[in-house]
Each structure stands twice: as structure tokens, then as C-alpha cells.
Amino acid sequence: MAEYRQATVFDVAKEAGVSTATVSNVLNRRDVPLSEKTIRKVEEAAAKLGYRRNVMAASLSRRKTYEVGLLLPGFVGYYGLFAQQMERTAHKYGYHLSVFSTDMDSKVERRLLEKLLERRVDGLFCHGLAMSGDSARKVVNDGTPILFFNCWNELKHLAIGTVNLNVYQACVDAVVHLHEQGCRSFFYYGNKRAFATNEQRIHGFREGLRLTGGKHPADMIDVEDIAADDLAEWLAERSEDATPAGVMCFDDWKAFVCQNRLIEGGYDVPGRFKVVGINNEFVAGHSYPGITSFNVPYEHQADMSFRWMLTHLGEQAKLEAKGERPFSPPVAGGEVKIPLTLVERLSSR
Amino acid sequence: MAEYRQATVFDVAKEAGVSTATVSNVLNRRDVPLSEKTIRKVEEAAAKLGYRRNVMAASLSRRKTYEVGLLLPGFVGYYGLFAQQMERTAHKYGYHLSVFSTDMDSKVERRLLEKLLERRVDGLFCHGLAMSGDSARKVVNDGTPILFFNCWNELKHLAIGTVNLNVYQACVDAVVHLHEQGCRSFFYYGNKRAFATNEQRIHGFREGLRLTGGKHPADMIDVEDIAADDLAEWLAERSEDATPAGVMCFDDWKAFVCQNRLIEGGYDVPGRFKVVGINNEFVAGHSYPGITSFNVPYEHQADMSFRWMLTHLGEQAKLEAKGERPFSPPVAGGEVKIPLTLVERLSSR
DNA sequence: TTGTATGCGTTATCAG
DNA sequence: CTGATAACGCATACAA
């Protein structure tokens, strides 16, 4: 198919015997009145020529791209599922989502951010930016609105708002749950490198300890400090045989590793140790024993995020036309908390 | 930041006291000669104004986007890792990759394909298209080159080529390996809905049986026919206690489910059953017992794909300038086979 | 209801 | 080495 030039509005106009303006009007179904006849003529011409709109030209002319960007640390696990949902939601609202993974690398992050801004995306969603607030501010020096996910630190000031999974509350609930299941010593198995979101979990964990009476033995572990191979022994040394010990983990993958290393070490789960994760990924439901976890309401999370963004882009009118109640965003820099729900499985029974 | 108009080449030109053409020349470092002085002037002006190139305008003018699209069934597991590698490789070759997940839905697939073509991507990578060859042909009626991944069916004719993981050989190797480990009955636990790629595995499985002497008991199972909860019992009934039975699984996730259901049912892995997966995902390495699997050389796979695509886009010159040997693609409709390598773990020892 | 003319921000082709 | 200027393909006031 050498050099098959794509048909343009001009070609369609000529074929249909109308002007390019009319073609554009027909194809974009605007509020202007059009005669049935011209509509048919144009549509037939377009179909015949295999016309396909050139998004770049359209965006350039309209000065709006209907594209929003999503920056993620990666695609695996939770992030992948989240990205898929965001794509669906974007489409539902007539937008196009460009997803990029930063590989947890601030250089890559910076480059992708730049790329997205060069594309003149209408808005930006960022999940777990590694770069500093200052760097980010320097890169995003235009008016492009940004929404952050799971962000509790300085970056908040850059954003029109943040949407956070309530991992704090999840950890509170987890400790309470473990206590109810008979645990009398507690561990948090975390991930320093996740920064603020790890801190949130720790606060929740502590609050859970407080709520369950105060003085049970408890300790923190981090993947950076204890090799997975030593984990089981480490936990066993610091807990007694008489009552089960509860291990609250950063996420399902940490829980998975933790649980398997315990089993490998010959410790009974959930008899001797009870394990809880977060995110309720596939691995949690299909392990043996199944891993107790917290479910993420992806659809709700994505919907909140988009409605907030669209409100900020001045698209309330469209939302309301679709029968949506206008979504009034919190004050600038405000935060939406998405609640997680406990899913009990064998690992904590 | 209300209405902060982005600086244009025109603004930069004015600021630097040169013409827009010169600005463009400086910023794109073309082969034209430029004086050091103007280069500095332009660069300073651009920096001062916070100039950011408008990709749409550039692509429109250049009639080339330097963007390629990747269509995937989803982002989870293997696909997510593959997407991340493809992004890296795209960048390495100066391209920009837009990744979309089709949710395994041919409607979504069609829409995304359309979107990508509307964006005038230079090329297209498709992994596991659900739509028929005819539908695809109708959508892709322009000259946009397409490369398929893991495709053994009719769609091949649409493409400039295909890059396939050699799952056939992996299954052959797996059966041989299981046989060496003492297995004397064999099962394949598959996934009909994956069509051709499932067939490939089955062929490999059969060939493996043939190579290992022919007449060992063997059987096929499919996730659609046997509920996971019944799997262990089903396998136990059809195999004898005296020698271990080997279960070759569609991928690591199937292997994971299979192994855990067996353990849950009280069967010893790897004593009574040995399990093998494909893809060597995180879950395989961190299960207990660790799951024997086949490693995917993501980087090589992505590199082969891109070099093939770029050759087709007439970019050999650039590749060679970078010191790459020119990659001569197979004949049109040809196939590149990517070998998988066995990773032995406890599940098959 | 339809057509004309102009702008969107770059790149590229020529002359100077 | 540098500067006008014409595309690129579409959308949209403004006229008709």
C-alpha cells in the first residue's frame, strides 16, 4: 500500500459537493441545524473515501486535545488494574487516556511528563511521582491541571487535588480484625521506598494497636532491612507460640512473600501466624491459604478522579447533560479518601 | 494560572531576534549548518520563555508522528511487563509508544484501533487481537504497518510480520523435563479462549509425549471445563500414586492456581504432582514451592519487534548511524521465534 | 442551512 | 548561514 494518502475533509467535501465547514459540522454533530440530505451525502462520501479524522489537526485547531495523561510507576499488579479502569472511565467521559510507566525512575518520569505536556494533554493524573516537588513544579510550569493519587507529601501543593486510598483506615481495621481473631502480638511488614503511603500504613497500624487495648507486643519490619529468606525466623523469634501473631503487610505481594516464607519455614498459617495484605489482587484470592486483604473500588476511584478533573476543565455542562449531578470538588488541595473493604480469607481465620 | 498561553516558535524567534525557521532548525538539530551565536541566542530565548514544542503541530507539518501504538488484552502479568519493556525500547529508538488495553473486548479493540489510526501512528503492534481478520482488514485500510505478537492464525496476512514466543518448544521441553524428573503420566492444563496460542502449547505437549517414548497416560484439561475447586480431585482420579504426575500449565497463573488447589487438597507437590508454568512471573519465583517456569526474554523480544518495524518504516539509516547492523526482516508475513528458557524450581524437583 | 476565510504551531522549501 | 512563506488538516466565526 505505498503512499496511500488519507482522505481529508477537503476530499470529502468535494465528493459530497459541499464545503469543508459542512463536512466538519456533520461529522462533529454540533448544535447547528443540518438538512437530512446533506448529512447523508456527507456520510456517504466519508464512508466511500474511508475518511478518518486527523486528531492532530483537529486538536490543533480546537486548541483542546480531549486527551489526559496517566503516569504510573509500572503496570504490574494494582497499577495495571487501575490503568485499565482509568481507560474505561476516560472513554465513558469522552476522553482519551495515555498511560505511561515511569519505571520508578525520576529521569524517565521527567521525560514522560515533558512528552505529555508537549502533546498538550488537557489534564494529568500522577500516581507515585518519584521526583521532588520543586522538580515537578519546574516541569509543569503551565496551567495543566494535575491530580495526584496516593499522595500525602509536599507534591500536594502542585495539584488541583488528590485521591487517596484510605490505607490508614485499612491498617486500623486490619489490626482490629487480627485482634478479634485471637492475635496477641503484631507486626507490620512494610516498604520504606514507598514513602508517604508506607507512613500512612504505619500510622494506621499504630492506631489499630491503640484501639486494641494498647500493650501488645508489636514491631515493624521492612523489606529493605530483612531478607525474605530470613523473615520467617525473624518473626518466630519475636513472637510466642502460645497465641497467634498477626502480620499486616504493605500489600498482597508482600503478604504473599511473607506467607510463603512462613509456610516454607514450617510455621502454620493461620495457626501460628495470621497474614493480611492490601489490594485484594488475584494472588490473594488464589493462594493457599487464601490471603485476607482489602478490596479496592477501582471504578469508584477512577470515577471520582475523572469527575474532579473534568469539573476543573470546565466540563460540568457536559456531565450534567448526561444526567450526572454536578460534582463539587473539595477546596483546592483537598483530598478524596477512597475506603477499602476487608475481604476475609483463610490466612487470618 | 488562568490562561497562560504557551510560548510558540514565533515568540522564541522574536525574543531571540531571528526567524521561526532558524528556531526550528536550532531546536531540531538538523543537518543544516548554524552559527554558534544563533544557537545560543535561540536556546536562551527558549529557556527563558519556557518554550515547549507542540507535538501536534510538529507531527502535522512533518507528516510523521514518531508514535507507535501497542494494543494489549490487558496490563496484568506478562502483558504489563511486556508493555514496560516496549516503552523502554521505543524510547531507545526515538519513538513514543501509546499502549492501550482492549479488555479482551473486540468492540473496545476496534475503537482503540480507530483512535490510534486517527492519531496517525507510524506503526502498530497488536497482541492477541480478538476481532476477525476481516474486521481488522476493514479498520486498517490504510498503509499503516502492523506487527503481531503471538499470532498463528489468519491475522498473519494483515501484518508485516509476527513475533512469537516459542511456546511450542517450551511445552516440548517441559514434558521432557517432567519425564526426566520421574513423571510417568502427564496433563496439560490449558485455556481454550486463548485460541492459537493454546493450540501451540498443545502441539508442543503432544510432541513432548512422543519424544519421551510415546505411551504414557496423558490428558488435557481446560479451565472452562473443570472448575478450579474440582481440579485436584480430577487430577488425582486420573493418575496413580506410584509415580508422580506432571502438569504442564498454560501460564504461571494457571500453574499457581493448579498447584495451590493440589496442596489444598492434601496432595504433595512436587512429590505426588509436579507443576510447570510459563512466563516466569513474580508469582512463580515467590510461591512455595517455587514454580518451575520458562523465562521470557522481554528485551530481546521488544528489540526484535522494533527493529523490524523501523526497518519497515524506512529507518535503517538511523539504525545504522547508531552502529546497529541493519536488521534484515524475514519475507513478508514471516515469523520471528523467541526462545524461552527453562527455570527449574521446587515444583518439579 | 451552507460557504468563505482565517487561525492553530510547526516544518520544510526555497531564495537571499 | 538565515529569512519569508507555503503547506499540514481541521474547526469556527462570520457572511451569505
Ordered per-residue pLDDT tens for chain A, 349 residues? 334 678 999 999 999 999 999 999 999 877 777 888 899 999 999 999 999 999 999 999 999 999 999 999 999 889 999 999 999 999 999 999 999 999 889 999 999 999 999 999 999 999 988 887 778 888 887 789 999 999 988 777 888 889 999 999 999 999 999 999 999 999 999 999 988 999 999 999 999 999 999 889 999 999 999 999 999 999 999 998 899 999 999 999 999 999 999 999 999 999 999 999 999 999 999 999 999 999 999 999 999 999 999 998 988 877 777 777 777 766 656 899 999 999 999 999 9
- B123-127 sheet: strands from edge to edge: A335-338, A161-165, A146-149, A123-127, A67-72, A96-101, B96-101, B67-72, B123-127, B146-149, B161-165, B335-338
Equal CATH topology for B9-51 and B66-165+298-338: no
User: Residue A77 and residue B76: Cβ atoms within 8 Å?
Assistant: yes
- A185-190 sheet: strands from edge to edge: A218-222, A185-190, A245-249, A273-276
Q: Is A317 exposed, middle or buried (0-12, 13-18, 19+ CB in 10 A)?
A: exposed
Task: Quote the pLDDT of residue B84.
Answer: 96
pLDDT greater at residue A23 or residue B128: A23
Nearest to B249, CA basis, from B212, B283, B297, B214:
B283
Q: Is the pLDDT of residue B329 over 70?
A: no
Angle of helix A228-237 versus helix A252-264 axis, rounded to 10: 70
Q: Which of B65, B84, B111 sits opposite A103 (nearest CB)?
A: B84
Where are chain A's structural domains? Answer: 9-51, 66-165+298-338, 167-295+342-348
Quote the pTM value.
Answer: 0.93
Q: Which CATH number fits domain B167-295+342-348: 3.30.413.10, 2.60.40.420, 3.40.50.2300, 3.30.565.10?
A: 3.40.50.2300
pLDDT digits (tens, 9 = 90+) for B25-67: 999 877 777 888 899 999 999 999 999 999 999 999 999 999 9
Task: State the nearest residue by CA to the C1' of D9.
Answer: A57
Give helix then strand counts, H and E, for chain B. 14, 12
User: Residue A80 and residue B75: Cβ atoms within 8 Å?
Assistant: yes
What the block records as the C-alpha cell of B133 is: 481478520
Mean pLDDT, range B69-92, rounded to an integer? 94
CA dist list (Å): B63 to A55, B98, B313: 13, 18, 13
Domain boundaries A66-165+298-338, corresponding CATH code: 3.40.50.2300
pLDDT digits (tens, 9 = 90+) for B162-219: 999 999 999 999 999 999 999 999 999 999 999 899 999 999 999 999 999 988 999 9
Whether CB of B55 is under 7 Å from strand D: the answer is no
What the block records as the C-alpha cell of A95 is: 476522553
Instruction: Round to whole Å and give the CA distance between A73 and A62.
Output: 32
CA dist list (Å): A260 to A21, A171, B284: 65, 21, 12
Query: Backbone phi, then psi, for B121, in 5-degree steps?
Result: -60, 150
Query: Backbone phi, then psi, for A72, in 5-degree steps?
Result: -125, 155
User: Residue B56 and residue A52: Cβ atoms within 8 Å?
Assistant: no
- The rounded mean pLDDT for chain B is 91
Q: Are A196 and A256 in contact (CB under 8 A)?
A: no
Torsion of CA A73, A78, A84, A89, to 10 degrees: -100
CA of A342 to C1' of C16 (A): 75
Cα atoms in the Cβ-side hemisphere of radius 13 Å centred on B316: 8
Q: Are B200 and B151 in contact (CB under 8 A)?
A: no
Task: Quote the pLDDT of residue A156.
Answer: 77
Q: Is the pLDDT of residue B1 over 50?
A: no
CA of A45 to C1' of C6 (A): 26
Q: Is the pLDDT of residue B291 over 50?
A: yes
Which residue is it, cell 448529512?
A39
Q: Is A342 exposed, middle or buried (0-12, 13-18, 19+ CB in 10 A)?
A: middle
Fold of the B9-51 domain: 434 Repressor (Amino-terminal Domain) (1.10.260)
Instruction: Round to whole Å and give the CA distance between A139 and A114.
Output: 7
Interface membership of A227 toward B (CB under 8 Å): no
Beta strands at A273-276 and B273-276: parallel, antiparallel or unpaired: unpaired
Nearest to A48, CA basis, from A14, A12, A23:
A12
Instruction: Round to whole Å and give the CA distance between A311 and A313.
Output: 5
3-state secondary structure of A49: helix
Beta strands in chain A (DSSP E): 67-72, 96-101, 123-127, 146-149, 161-165, 185-190, 218-222, 245-249, 273-276, 293-295, 335-338, 341-343
Instruction: Round to whole Å and give the CA distance between B256 and B130.
Output: 26
Task: Quote the pLDDT of residue A36.
Answer: 87
Partner B, chain A 58-117, Cβ-Cβ below 8 Å: 59-60, 65, 74-77, 79-81, 83-84, 87-88, 91, 96, 98-101, 103, 111, 114-115, 117
